Homo-oligomer: A and B are copies of this chain.
Amino acid sequence: MKRIITISREFGSAGRTIGKQLAERLGYKYYDKELVRQVADETGFDPSYIEETGEHSAGRSSLSYVFSTPGVPGIMKGMSASDFLWCIQHNVILKLADQEPCVIVGRCADFILRDRDDVLNVFIHAPMQARAERIVRLYGESDKSPEQRLKEKDKRRRNNYKHYTGQDWGVSQNYHITLDSAAVGIDRCVDILEGLAR
């Protein structure tokens, strides 16, 4: 029985959809936007800033630093905004995992919760073409090609993961199971993960 499922995913691979359906079936809490809201509450940052920065902040030039702000512990003063955000996210994830069974999407939760033995770590990916079709269907076109958008977003997630965990994103050994959602199918991915969680 796994109390916590972490889902890491390539952009456009349906990892969030799989996580949401899995949480519903298991009767678990689902954390994605909700996690962002909690981090916002603890930091005073705007939720949209957290959503954008929380998963791919590392390696970007940032002039924002944490100065003396009421409520910020002394040890965090002088940190870059992205490192500060990492620390808060880290603590929020540890706290949520202690509270009740949940599915957590993204945010290096697999690494943050690595010392627990009631966690199932999942990585979802899919071939470029399937993901390109999916993001155009879900989010529409933009001035960049879908392939370009996928590459950029994945690169930022990869860099962020490497920066904060020292590990390589998407390497199978970091996860208990990885699935190609296009080959396996979304429903079947949820079936398999539900079976492993129970």
Interface size on A, residues (CB 8 A): 20
- Which of A10, A172, A192 has the largest count of B CB atoms less than 10 A from its CB? A172
- Which residues of A from 119 to 172 have beta carbons under 8 Å from B? 120, 123, 125, 170-172
Dominant secondary structure at the A interface: mixed
Q: Tell me if A196 is interfacial: C-beta within 8 Å of chain B.
A: yes
Q: How far is the CA of A195 from the CA of B192 in the complex (A)?
A: 9
Q: Tell me if A173 is interfacial: C-beta within 8 Å of chain B.
A: yes
Q: How far is the CA of A184 from the CA of B178 in the complex (A)?
A: 12
Q: How far is the CA of A184 from the CA of B171 in the complex (A)?
A: 17
Taking CB atoms, residues of chain B closer than 8 Å to A125 are: 172-173
Across the interface, A175 reaches (CB within 8 A) one of B10, B176, B180, B188, namely B180
Chain A, 104-125, contact with B by CB distance < 8 Å: what is the 0/1 string? 0000000000000000100101
Cβ–Cβ contact A180 & B179, under 8 A? no
Taking CB atoms, residues of chain B closer than 8 Å to A120 are: 183
Taking CB atoms, residues of chain B closer than 8 Å to A192 are: 192, 195
Interchain nearest-CB distance for A171 vs B (Å): 6
Q: Tell me if A177 is interfacial: C-beta within 8 Å of chain B.
A: yes
Taking CB atoms, residues of chain B closer than 8 Å to A196 are: 184, 188
Interchain nearest-CB distance for A59 vs B (Å): 21
